[in-house]
Amino acid sequence: MQGAAAWGSKPERFRVIPMEEGMTLRNLLVRRLRGLDRDQAANLVKAGGVYVNRLRVRLPMVRMAPGERVTVYRRALEVRALAVNDLSIVYRDPSFMVLDKRSGVPVAPTRSSARGTLTEALIEMLKAEGVERPYVGVLHRLDRGASGLVILTTRGAANASFHRQFLTHEIRRTYRVLVSGEPPEAVRCDAPLLLLQTGGVKIASAGEPSAKPARTRFRRVGVRTHGGQVRVLVEAEIETGRTHQIRAHAAHLGFPVVGDRRYGATSSAARPAVPSDLSAERGLCLHAWRLGFAHPHTGEALELESPLPRWAEPESD
């Protein structure tokens, strides 16, 4: 099998021609894509790396029609499924769960793959428990390279309460973040963010109509030697939950997150142009540490914590 490095991150695209009418998607991929056998083609579809007319298709034997547009991300073949045993459940209720995500694992399907995610592993766990047609709802995201607490619903009845709590900022989210530079003892950032079509965000200019408000509070809590250099450890609390909010705000204030390949560069020109779902921020020092919210059905106040990674603990004097 060819490696992901050889294939690259760009998708391959083509249209079904009249002579390919009725051909299965699996066989079509074998015909059109060099170096792909029937087993690999079927696995690629099952991994969520193939779209037909912008719709992700995971059935290898679906029949094709002339004119349909096919988009293929071969990198999906390199993604391994997340084992059910690798799920770390911090809190479980019949209608939702709080999981402790490890760094490098996506919460939900990415553009290039539906495999290896928390949602897929949770669905497999529910199936193994006898749940028919299990449902998993994603309420908020946590960057692939980040670690820590994330809420997933397993019954739609819990969604309304959680959405209201997110909207009214009643859900309290506290992160431990290791940064470069010299952050002040305490600072708040209200810079609005603009979502980019290529993935990620940027600090919006005044008056940009598509900009979204974003508020992050940072508090310095200590130092930590990391990679042979002394870095500063901060706590970040967010009122809004925008894409890459903490990372973008920290970089904007002059203390980028350690391990951040997207926003850690000193200028936008120096940042790698990498799609958001393929950035693979290995070693991103951002951990969702504490999570506080009201139980969606009983109203009970819940305060949950994730064990701190070693890098997130201040060094003793």
- Which amino acid, one-letter code, is at 165? Q
pLDDT for 269 equals 35
From 62, 72, 83, 85, select the one nearest 113 (Cα to Cα): 72
- End-to-end CA distance of the chain, in Å? 51
Yes or no: say if 275 and 204 are a contact pair by the CB < 8 Å rule: no
From 134, 154, 149, 138, select the one nearest 94 (Cα to Cα): 154
Which DSSP category does 78 fall into?
G
For each of the chain's 317 residues, which pLDDT tens digit applies?
A: 444 444 556 899 999 999 999 999 999 999 999 999 999 999 999 999 999 999 999 999 999 999 999 999 999 999 999 999 999 999 999 999 999 999 999 999 999 999 999 999 999 999 999 999 999 999 998 999 999 999 999 999 999 999 999 999 899 999 999 999 999 999 999 999 999 987 889 999 878 889 999 999 999 999 988 778 889 999 999 988 899 999 999 999 999 999 999 998 644 433 333 333 333 345 799 999 999 999 999 999 999 999 999 999 998 65
From 216, 236, 218, select the one nearest 288 (Cα to Cα): 236
Burial (0-12, 13-18, 19+ Cβ within 10 Å), 242: buried
pLDDT for 207 equals 80
Yes or no: say if 118 and 152 are a contact pair by the CB < 8 Å rule: yes
**Tokens 């908020």 belong to residue:** 140
Between CA 214 and CA 161 the distance in angstroms is 22
- Show which residues are catalytic: 143
pTM: 0.85
**What is the H or E stretch that residue 231 is in?**
strand 229-238
SS3 137: strand
Between CA 21 and CA 205 the distance in angstroms is 50
Between CA 298 and CA 88 the distance in angstroms is 24
- Which amino acid, one-letter code, is at 312? A
| CA dihedral of residues 221, 182, 252, 310 (deg, nearest 10) | -40
